[in-house]
Chains A and B, each alone.
Chain A
Amino acid sequence: MKQLFAVVTLVCVAQLSGCIGSMNGPTEDCTFAEDVKNSDTLYILSYDILAFDDEMIQSFEQTYGYTVEFILADDAGGILNQLMLTKGKPQADLAIGLDNTYMQTAIDFCLLKPHKMEPENVQSHLSTTYDSIGVPFDYGFVCLNLDATQLNDNRTEPTTIDDLTKIEWYGKVSIPSPLTSSPGRAFFFSTLMNYEYDVERTLEWWRSMKQNDLIITTGWTESYEIHYSGGYGVWTEGHIGDAAITVSYCHSPGVEAFFSENSTFSTAVLYEHTHFKQIEYATIPNGKVNSDAATKFIQYLLTTEINQKMPTSNYMYSVLNHTDLPAESGYKWNSPTPQSELSFDQQKIELTIDELLMKWSEVMLS
C-alpha cells in the first residue's frame, strides 16, 4: 500500500513541478567524440546474428589480437534502444545489425559517428545516404510470402495489396508488428511507399486489414512459424497455420528449399511497390570507442571468406560483388529478386518514424 502511495505521489509531484514536458527533438549538430585506441577488447553490440559463430570469432581474435565481447540485443530495435540508453557513453565499440529502417533515428539522435572506411567490392546498388555512417554487411528484400497450396477457385493470387482486404483473405494474412519487429517495420514502410507516402491512405489500408481479421504478431518468428501454413512451421510445435500469406524475405522460399532438398510450397509475391530492400549495417557508436578495432572487424566481415557465406550462415544476401545465392537445392531458383529498386525516402513524410508508429498503434491497437 505504501508503494502505491509512493507511485501516486510521484505522478502528482511530477505534474506539479512541471517535469512532464514536451518530447526532445533530434539534435541539429552532432559532436563526435575522440577515439580510444589502447583497448585489447572489442565490444560489439549486436543481435543473435547466426553468422557469428565461435569459429569465426576465434579466427578474428587470432588474426588481429583483440578479444571480442558481444553485447546482446533482441533485434535491430534492441540495438537502437541500447544505443539510446547509453547515449554519449556507449558501451560498445561497434554496433552490427541496425538496418535502414532504424538508421535515420540513430543519426537524428547522434548515436553514430562517421567511419573512415572506403569499402571496396561492395555492390553499388547498396549505396545510400547512410554510406558515411554505416557499412552494409548483408541485405535482403522484405516481401510477402504465399502458400501456393492455399490458392483455389475462390481464392486467387492477389495482384496488389488492396486485394488482401477482400473477404477471400479474411483471417488469412499474418504480419509482424512494426512496433516490435524489423521485417514488420520494413513492410510498414513498403505500404507507405505503395500509397506514395500518403499516411492517411496507408493507415486506411491497415484499418481495412484489421477489419479483415489481420493477424498481428510480436515478431517474425510467431508470424512465420505459427501462423504461416507454407513454411517449416508446419513441423513445429504450436503451429496453427491459419495464414496463407505472411511477411518474410523474398528469398525465404529459397532457404526453405535449401534445407528441404529443393522442395517448398512457399513462394514470394512480388508487387511493384510492396517490397523493401532491407540493408543491415555495421556502425560505430558515437563516443570514446575503439574505432581501430571496430574498423578491423568490419573489414573482416567484408572479406570474401566470411561475407560470401551470408546466404547459408545468416540467410541473407552477401553484399560483395560477384556473389549470389547458392544454386544448391533450389536456393537461388526459389528466391526471386524484385525488378524495381525502391528505397524509402523519409523526407517525403512530415512525421517522424516514432510519430508514424504512434499513428499505426492508434489504428491497430485501440
Chain B
Amino acid sequence: MATVQHSKAHIAGPYVLLSAVLFFTSLPILLALSQLILISELTFIEFMHYMLDHSLLMASLRFTILQAFVSATIAMCVGIPVAWVLSRYSWRYKSFLKSVFTLPFITPSIVAAAGFLALSSDQGILQSIGIQLNSPGHWIARFGSFIGIEDFGMIFLLILSHAWFNISLFIRYLEPRITTLHPDWEMQFLLLPKGGQRYYRIRYFWLPFLGGSVLTAWLFSFFFAFTSFAMIRWLTPSRYSLESLTGTFGQFAGIEGYRLDATRMVLASTLLQFFVLSFVFLLFHFQRRNMNHAYKSISEQELFKQQTPPPKIAKALICAFAGLVLLPYASILTSSFRIRSSTTTRGFDWSLDAWETAIFGNFDSISVTTALSNSLLYATVTICVVLPLTLMVSLALLEIEKRGHRKMANFFQFMCIVPVFISAVTLGIGISIGLISFAPFLIQWRFLPTIPHIFLTFPFALRIVHPAMQRIDLRFLEQAKLLGCSFLKTYWLGFGIHLRSVFIVVISLSFAFSMGEFGASFLVVRFESWTSLSLLVDTLLSRPKFDPIAYPLSMVVATILMFFTFICLLIIDNVQGKSGEIQ
C-alpha cells in the first residue's frame, strides 16, 4: 500500500509543484483585479464607456504606445549596425566591449533616470555640446512646437533613454547569431545567381536568418519601454504612461467608498496594459515557436582567426557607441560633486559636501548604509528563493518531458514565463491591493518587499536554467543513483556540477534585478527602515530642492547603486569569459 501511495505521489509531484507555482504567481493579480472590479461600481458596458471616454486614460494609452514604438525602433536602428560591426570583425577586447554594451540592461531604472536627468541638467553634458532640450530657440523645441508637443525636449530624452536601455537587447540577440554563422553558408549564397546583389542578400539570406531575432529583441524593447515607470516618472513627469498612471493613482485605489475615480482609473489602466501586453506576449510566443534554430555554426575562437581587424569607420562607430553608453553614468558621478552656487547667478561649485553628508551626515531618518544593507538583504533572499525554486520547477518540467508529455511541459513552461510580461507596478498593485487587503498582517512582514523581486526574477532565471538543464545528459544522474550517493549528492553530481556557471549568472542577474527593482517596491515598501537604495534615490529626488545639496545627495546614492551594478556585471563577464557564452 505504501509503495502504491509513493508512486502516486511520485506521479503527481511535478504537476502539484507546477500548479502551486502558477497558483501563487497569479494569486496577487487576480485578488487585486477582483477587489478593483467589485468596488468600481460599474457594469461591464459602463466600464467600457468609461474607459473609452476618459481623455486622460486614452492620452496615456496613446503616449505609452507611441513612445514605446519609437524607442524600440530607434534601438533597433542603432542596435543592428552595432551588433553587425561587432560580429563581423576580430575585436581585441570583444568580451569587454560586449560587457559595456550589456551594462544598460542591468542598470537600475532609477539610476538610468537619474543619469539622463543629469545629462540634460543646466550646464550638463548635453548643454555643453549645444543641445538645449527645453530652450525655445533650439531645433528640438522648434520641431516640438511644429508638431504641437510643447515638452518635446523631454519626450525626446525619454525616447533616447529607452532606446539606450534596449540597444543591448539587439546586441545580445543578434551578435552571437551573426558571429557564429559559418562563413560557408554566406559563401554558398554568394555563388547563387543573385547572391552578389546586396538587396537579394538582405531579402533572401539575412532577413530570414536574423528576422526572428530582430523581432524578439524589438518586442522585448517595446515591452520594457511600455512598462517603464521610473523613467516616465522622472523624465516626463507632465505625461502619464499607463504604468505611471497606475503607480500614481494606485495608492488611492481599491478602498471601498473612497476615491472611486482612482479605483476606476487603476482598473482601466491595468486592463488596457494587460490587453496590449497579452498581444505582445502572443507575438513573442509565436515568433519563438517558428524561429529556425538550425544553422551551421562556428566557434568564436575558430572564427577569430579568419576575421579581419576592424576598419577605422567600424572602430569609430564602436568607440562612439561605447561613449554614449557610458555617458549617463559619467553624468551621475560628476553631478554628485557639483553643487549649485547659493546665488541667483547660474553657477556650480565642485565639492565633496554631498558625499560627506551621505556618509557622515544627518539628512534623513534612514542612512545610506541602512538602505544599502536592506538592498543587499532583499537581493540575498531573492537569490535564496529563486535559485532552488527554479531548479525544482526545471526538474519538474524535465520529469514531465521524460514521461513524454511534451505539450504539457511546454504549457507549464509557457505559464511560468508569463509573469515576465506583467509589469512591476501591476505586480505592486497586486500585492498592495490584492494580498495586503486580504491579509493586512503582511504589511509588517519584513520580507514582503522580496515577493515582487522573486516574481520578477524567477521567469528570467527559468529561461536561463531550464535550457541548460535540458542539455545535460541524464545518464549522469542515473549513474550517481547507481553509486548509492545521498539525495543531495546525486543531484549535485547529476545536475549541479554542470550548472555552476549558469548558477553564477542567475545569482548575479537576480542580484542586479533585485538591487535595482523600483516599480513594485515603490508601492509595496511601507516601513521607512525597509527602504532600498533605489527607493532612497527616488525619495531624495522627490524632495524640494531649495537646499542646494539635495540634488547632489541623490546622485551620490545613485552612484553607490551604480557601483553595485558594475560589480554584478564584472562577475557575469568573468564567468562567461571562463565558461563560454551562456545562452
Interface residues of A (CB under 8 A from B): 1, 3-4, 6-8, 10-12, 14-15, 19-25, 48, 50, 52-57, 68-74, 77-78, 81-82, 84-86, 89, 91, 105, 109, 171, 179-180, 215, 217-222, 224-227, 232, 234-242, 255-256, 258-261, 263-265, 315, 354, 357-358, 361, 365-366
Query: What chain A residues lie within 8 Å of B525 (beta carbons)?
Result: 72
Q: Flag B312-355 by CB within 8 Å of A: 1 or 0 each.
A: 00000000000000000000000000001011101000000000
A3 to B: closest C-beta gap in Å = 7
Given known contacts A53-B362, A217-B238, A238 and B274 CB-to-CB distance under 8 angstroms: no
In the complex, are the beta carbons of B365 and A236 less than 8 A apart? Answer: no
Contacts of B545 in A (CB 8 A): 225, 232, 236
Given A20-B41, A84-B258, A366-B53, A239 and B346 contact (CB-CB distance below 8 Å): no
Q: Which residue of A lies closest to B154 (CB)?
A: A238
Contact of A218 among B42, B119, B154, B237 (CB under 8 A): B237
A77–B251 CB distance below 8 A:
yes
State whether A265 touches B365 (Cβ < 8 A): no
CB pairs A–B below 8 angstroms (5 shown): A15-B44, A225-B545, A235-B346, A236-B551, A354-B261
Q: Which of B26, B37, B252, B444 contacts A91 (CB 8 A)?
A: B444
Given contacts A70-B365, A225-B545, A238-B134, A7 and B33 within 8 Å (CB-CB): yes
Return chain B residues, CB-CB under 8 Å to A218: 237, 240, 248
Query: B94 — which chain A residues lie within 8 A by C-beta?
Result: none
- Is B134 within 8 A of A239, CB to CB? yes
Taking A10-B34, A69-B527 as known contacts, 17 extra A-B pairs with beta carbons closer than 8 A to each other, sorted by chain A number, are: A3-B274, A20-B37, A21-B41, A23-B256, A70-B527, A71-B527, A72-B525, A77-B251, A84-B255, A234-B122, A235-B346, A238-B134, A238-B237, A239-B134, A259-B546, A357-B261, A366-B53
Q: Which of A55, A109, A236, A259 contacts B342 (CB 8 A)?
A: A259
Q: Which residue of A lies closest to B522 (CB)?
A: A74
Q: Tell me whether A11 and B365 are in contact in the complex, defined as CB-CB below 8 angstroms, given that A218-B248, A236-B122 are known contacts.
A: no
B117 at the interface (CB under 8 A from A): yes
Nearest 5 pairs between A and B by C-beta? A70-B528, A237-B121, A24-B257, A237-B117, A222-B237
A73: min CB distance to chain B, Å: 8
Residue of B nearest to A217 (CB): B238
* CB atoms of A315 and B546 under 8 A apart: yes
Minimum CB distance partner of B46 in chain A:
A20
- Chain A hits for B258, CB < 8 A: 81, 84, 105, 109, 354
B245-279 contacts to A, CB under 8 A, are 248-249, 251-252, 254-262, 271, 274-275, 278
Q: How far is the CA of A25 from the CA of B164 in the complex (A)?
A: 50
| Distance in Å: Cβ of A21 to nearest Cβ of chain B | 7
B260 touches A23 (CB 8 A): yes
Q: Decide if B95 is an interface residue (CB 8 Å cutoff).
A: no
Q: Chain B residues near A109: list those with CB within 8 A.
A: 257-258
B311 at the binding interface (Cβ < 8 Å):
no
B contact residues vs A (CB 8 Å cutoff): 26, 29-30, 33-34, 37-38, 40-44, 47, 53-56, 117-122, 124, 133-134, 150-151, 153-154, 157, 234-235, 237-238, 240, 248-249, 251-252, 254-262, 271, 274-275, 278, 282, 340, 342-344, 346, 362-367, 418, 432, 436-437, 440, 443-444, 525-529, 531, 539, 542-548, 551
The closest CB in chain B to the CB of A51 belongs to B365
Whether B262 lies near A365 (C-beta < 8 A) is no
> What number of A-B contacts does a CB cutoff of 8 Å give?
208
**Contacting pair B122 A85 (CB below 8 A):** no
In the assembled complex, which residues on chain A have CB atoms less than 8 Å from the CB atom of B26? 3
| B274 engages A53 (CB within 8 Å) | no
Q: Which of B29, B120, B418, B528 contacts A238 (CB 8 A)?
A: B120
Nearest-neighbour CB distance to chain A for B94, whole angstroms, equals 35
> How far does the alpha carbon of A222 sit from the alpha carbon of B233 in the complex, in Å?
10
Q: Which of A15, A24, A241 contacts B134 (CB 8 A)?
A: A241
* Complex contacts, B527 vs chain A, CB 8 Å: 69-72
- Pick the contact of B526 from A24, A82, A227, A361 — CB < 8 Å? A82
Residues of B close to A227: CB separation below 8 A: 238
Instruction: Check if B274 sits within 8 Å of A4, measured CB to CB.
Output: yes
Once the chains are docked, how many angstroms separate the CA of A91 from the CA of B448? 15
B238: chain A residues at CB < 8 Å are: 215, 217, 222, 226-227
A91–B445 CA distance with the chains assembled, in angstroms: 12
